[in-house]
Amino acid sequence: MEKQNDDLKVIIFGASGMVGAAVLNECLKDPRVSTVLSVGRSSSRMTHPKLKELILPDLFDLEPQTEALKGYNACFFTLGVSAAGLNEAQYAKINHDLPLKTAGLLLKLNPDLAIGYVSGTGADSTEKGSVMWARVKGRTENELLKMPFRAAVMFRLAGLQPLKGYKSSTRLYRVFYDLFGPILPLLVRLFPNAVTTPERLGRAFIRAGRGQSPKSILEAKDIHELGSMVV
């Protein structure tokens, strides 16, 4: 476990999405997070005195924004795309190339940076399995863990009860949540190792950013437990 940091200055990538919105909402509520910068192609649709937004058409072109990206000590990367309809190169561009490029730049600007990365249950650390998305996510995890972050935690998220008012941008997930949304609170209680709440997910990210995660790779059960931890 790394040295705890009680004043987080957080950059969130992907806060307009369902996962990112959950993490952002908890960061805005937590007094140990003093400032938050949301970076993405669209607005988070949230307002708060400690929230700033940087909306960019091309997230691969961050270099002109270096001044705006300085002064932070945690990055929560929640941006990603579904593998549906994509080949490996297309999927890897967003789920491997972008987080690695972003991480490298942010580390140069902020050497005391911690990172939390949204991966997925089933990510393949061997990078050799038959499932394309799992290989890509596993490769991304492995490369991020080799970088000199203050703390690096991979979140292998499974099910998430959506933050009220937010829907996934992925059609398949929207259909799932439309069908099962009414019973998700029950599923959280019955299957905490598979489904968690936006509050627990956000708290788990914050605790990882503070250096409180006991593991560098968190499975769904670990995420739920870290987000439920009393500190």
**13 pLDDT higher than 90:** yes
160/227: higher pLDDT: 227
Q: What is the pTM of this model?
A: 0.88
**166 pLDDT higher than 90:** no
Check if the beta carbon of residue 210 is closer than 8 Å to that of residue 32.
yes
**57 contacts: CB under 8 Å, gap ≥ 6:** 41
Q: CA 120, 126, 128, 132: dihedral to nearest 10 degrees?
A: 10
Q: Provide the pLDDT confidence category of residue 54 given band limits of 50, 70 and 90.
A: very high
pLDDT-wise least confident of 159-163, 194-198, 215-219: 159-163
Return d(Cα 111, Cα 75) in angstroms, integer. Answer: 12
Closest to 75 measured CA to CA, from 217, 208, 214: 208
Closest to 157 measured CA to CA, from 80, 209, 223, 74: 223
Q: How many other CB atoms are there within 10 angstroms of residue 61's CB atom?
A: 10
- By the 10 Å C-beta count (0-12 exposed, 13-18 middle, 19+ buried), 47 is classed as exposed
Please name each of the domains of the chain with its CATH number: 8-228 (3.40.50.720)
**113 pLDDT higher than 70:** yes
Rg (CA), the chain: 16
What is the pLDDT, as a whole number, of residue 161? 75
